[in-house]
Amino acid sequence: MSFDATVLTMFPEAFPGPLGVSLIGTAWREAGLWTLETVDIRSFSKDKRGFLDDTPAGGGPGQVMRADVIAAALDSVERRGRPLLYMSARGRPLSQERVAQWAVGPGVIVLCGRFEGVDQRVLDARGFEEVAVGDAVLAGGEAAAMVAIEACVRLAPGVLGQPESLKEESFEDGLLEHPQYTRPRTFEGLDIPEVLLSGHHAQVAAWRRTQREITTRERRPDLWAAHLANQQPKGG
């Protein structure tokens, strides 16, 4: 079963973008391990000029994407049990845990907003989950959609050449990834840590674990606190 991604967007020409290159692109174009479909929301506008937005109810700046146009675009797509994602700065943060759940399913349907956003009624009526890729506001949801889709697709069986490379990645066990090094041995006066050249696998593993803990503690105190909480013995 392939992972099927459908994107509802005003700018289908933005895709595939980075989804079409490297191993992700090969898995799509050549191996057929996943599929990408774009739906042009503008084509569902009943306005002869193709407008799909209107002024915000209650006043205020900008425009809001209309619920009826979004609904028509979505209803043209066969859902097949796929979750509906709306890329939004106010959404719940994209997490590796959620990505892993979506990755083993039939795929995702992703709505890309523009302007001031989307009429809340279509989000509620159709059951969209709002998802944020970071604490920043983008001009539209297309870049965020690519992030979410790539995070899912790379977990699909056969997409990456070395599945074992997933085991110690950031977020897989609540910790960030350790630093990586390769040749040359010395670069601008900086050496590869000696332990990585020792050939002692147990010492290398211990060093990497320590580095993951240090990096997580310094850069993501929230993840570190959650990690420590998970290490506490569970009460009976």
Domains and CATH numbers, the chain: 3-153 (3.40.1280.10), 167-231 (1.10.1270.20)
In whole angstroms, give the CA distance from residue 41 to residue 69: 7
State the DSSP H helix or E strand holding residue 130, giving kind and residue range, or none if neither: strand 129-132
Digit-coded pLDDT (tens) for 195-206: 999 999 999 999
Q: Return the higher-pLDDT residue of 59 and 164.
A: 59
Could you read off the pLDDT of 15-26 as tens digits, one per residue?
999 999 999 999
Taking 70 as the threshold, does the pLDDT of residue 233 lie above it?
Answer: yes
- What is the reported pLDDT for 170? 63
What confidence tier does 168 reach under pLDDT thresholds 50, 70, 90? low
Radius of gyration of the chain (CA): 22
With 90 as the cut, is the pLDDT of residue 157 above it?
no
Contact 141, 87 (CB under 8 A): yes
Q: Average of pLDDT values for 165-189?
A: 84
- How is residue 60 annotated by DSSP? -
| pTM score of the predicted model | 0.89
Closest by alpha carbon to 117, among 72, 74, 84, 70? 70
pLDDT at 71 over 60: yes
CB contact at 8 A, 91 and 84: no
